[in-house]
Amino acid sequence: MDRKSITLLIVLLVLVAASGFGKEPKKEAVTGRPDKNVGFHSRTLRLTPLKGEIASLEHTSLRMRLITVEPEGHTALHVHKDRPGIVYVVSGAIYNHPKDKKPKKVRAGEVFYETQGYTHYIENRGEVSATLISADIVTRAEE
């Protein structure tokens, strides 16, 4: 498989709907804005340099990660500066907390986007781990 096919496959995988249902969340929300990750595990599945794919993205890569957020786990509050992404919830459910907005429950089979300047954190209030697939464009320093 050539590089362009692999890149397209990664993008398509993010968009493919998978079935899976987690239990309804029952835990209380994180108090305040978290400053560190807790119960959050990320494994890079594929990192594809975009040099030669798109001229203006010479120093970037397309990254796909498998993420597990344990019950009561969460990320730190963070910003997506020059790092757009798309996240697909494979199983379980998470709450996405955009800065200055109400949190939104994102269930298995649903997607949310992380656009330029998007500031947020996610948390798992459920009784089972949530599994996510994240694809984003990162600079060499973030790889």
Band (pLDDT 50/70/90 cuts) for residue 15 is very low
Least Cα distance to 130 among 100, 89, 102 occurs for 89
- Provide mean pLDDT across the span 111-133: 93
User: What is the per-residue pLDDT across 44-85, written as a single tens digit (0 to 9) for each?
Assistant: 888 888 888 877 888 889 999 999 999 999 999 999 888 889
- pTM, 2 dp: 0.70
Alpha helices in 35-101 (DSSP H): none
Domains, the chain, ordered by start: 3-142 (2.60.120.10)
Least Cα distance to 26 among 68, 71, 73 occurs for 71
When the pLDDT of each residue in the chain is averaged and rounded to a whole number, the result is 80
Q: Look at residue 131 in the predicted model and tell me its pLDDT.
A: 97
